[in-house]
Structure 1
């Protein structure tokens, strides 16, 4: 390959790693990005190893400090799955709860609306406005002395105080 003699040793190693993994085509910047990641990781590990070495009262970093630093990086960066026994116990507890009943009908059976993520979880309380003429009639009916006519109109038009109670209860 042309220009490979000009590459630093670490860049050649990254190139050979990519080739060994079957990656034949890539942008030249990929090598530089891998090198930057590699150097940053090594600097972080060695910095942590130095802290561990100083904490232990040692003059130099040894293999145990580097191993401890790598292990702490792995534990911090990658989460390990819980042991099989823990997963089995969680599955037993979860499977004790029965699944919700499906809604009968054509197509794929779905769980009840309250158990879905797309169900409406709110309600609007919108007061209905009465027409001006209906408001005047209701006010006149309350003042009039005829009880029969006022009751007939009150059943046709909702009373304004009932609307206030709906809004105030929300």
Structure 2
């Protein structure tokens, strides 16, 4: 492939003159896997409202609702964060203790400052207490369809109990007493 030839030229430009024929293919495979994983991470981060709106202008949906992954456009902030996290995890040991790297503290502080430039909505003086997100954004809200699932499971349990006999044809203990 053409990309393999490009990698061979890169190796010779760096002074590597002797290598096995499969080395460029291995490097090509590594580059493809690394690039695709970084782009997948960036797509996930772009869908996250807390990372996708860092440094952007405040809007009605700023940090309010999660975006579907299919609707998200990859941003440069998301790519930078994905690359930094991949580098920290894959190439510097992965742990935060002893030798593990990570995104630089200064870069993360700059990103946090950019995000914190967006002001939180003002609380009217007539309202008080903790402001929670809308019903559709919380796990305890209605509309998750669990009641239907639970009702279906209860119906299955009741129908299996009403049969009254087990595999050998004997009556269950509840029916005898």
TM-score w.r.t. length of structure 1:
0.40
Relative CO higher for 1 or 2, CA cutoff 8 Å, sep ≥ 6?
2
TM-score w.r.t. length of structure 2:
0.39
Structure (1 or 2) with the greater helix fraction: 1
